[in-house]
Structure 1
């Protein structure tokens, strides 16, 4: 039986993601082992905290190279900070290189509203994606963030939300997917998104 690898690099909320996948009957392994990542059917990159700390840990462990290589072969889903790390660069604390799997940068949300953006907010879909199959436009999901992705190519943005300004909520480029929100904390809508991701490699 195949499995989805959940990357353990010291900055992720691994348990809640694992619990959601278990609930859906999807097999997972929490790992930082290169071989297990290579053998996995799919990979989830979670993340909480600051961009440069997480990016440094990926580089120090060599996981950046593994993820970049595996992105050509299988579905990868970045969640919250994990999604931001998919982009070229981040501007949180200090400018720092990301994985470069989705062209663009991560910048502070330029809104007049209070940051961080915490709570439930609705989605709009500028582009279609199998990640969002069965999810109705206007569905609410759960966010916790002060920085957001600014994609170079609008075609890679598959969901927006509004927080005084349009905010990128989800991205896709080839096998690479990202959710700024937490699908594992977003009720049935989030479960549907994880279910969709689990079906991408079948």
Structure 2
């Protein structure tokens, strides 16, 4: 499979990128995708939730009334969980939601998703973009020339480009990532992907796994 490299105006250039169709997967990796998405979403959780138990509350420790003879139930102090404002029984505590997943599995999932987007013709490759100053209008014109304006789009660069990031951070349904930051969740979440020319070498490494 060969893809022509586009310039910033959406015109075809003489450059081509070739992907070997023989390495495309012949089987599904649905369960591996599920595990990777689950790992990614769990990793986004801060895990700082905390509620106070009976021993962590400030207040009087005096027993509310005598143990027997009142005709009512036995009660301890006012911090008892049965009272409003009392401690919470088995409340949430800070914890980590990290799930370990084999590195090879993560790379295999990434490869499978990219392959599927290639087959569905949802990947485009553009020449390296250089901006001297941040300019959102430039990014809008680029998306229009690529016929992707208004569509949910992920752009992947080979190296960091601060001006391009500043130009695109306010755009809706658009995300800009460095190739080293590329994750499976973003690949799944955005139907269309645009790779810069300098990111292809790294992408080919994923596909050759």
Q: Is TM-score (shorter-chain normalized) higher than 0.5?
A: no
TM-score by length of 2: 0.30
Structure that is richer in helix per residue: 2
TM-score by length of 1: 0.31
Structure that is richer in strand per residue: 1
Q: Which has the higher Rg, Structure 1 or Structure 2?
A: 2
- The structure, 1 or 2, with the larger RCO (C-alpha pairs under 8 Å, 6+ apart) is 2
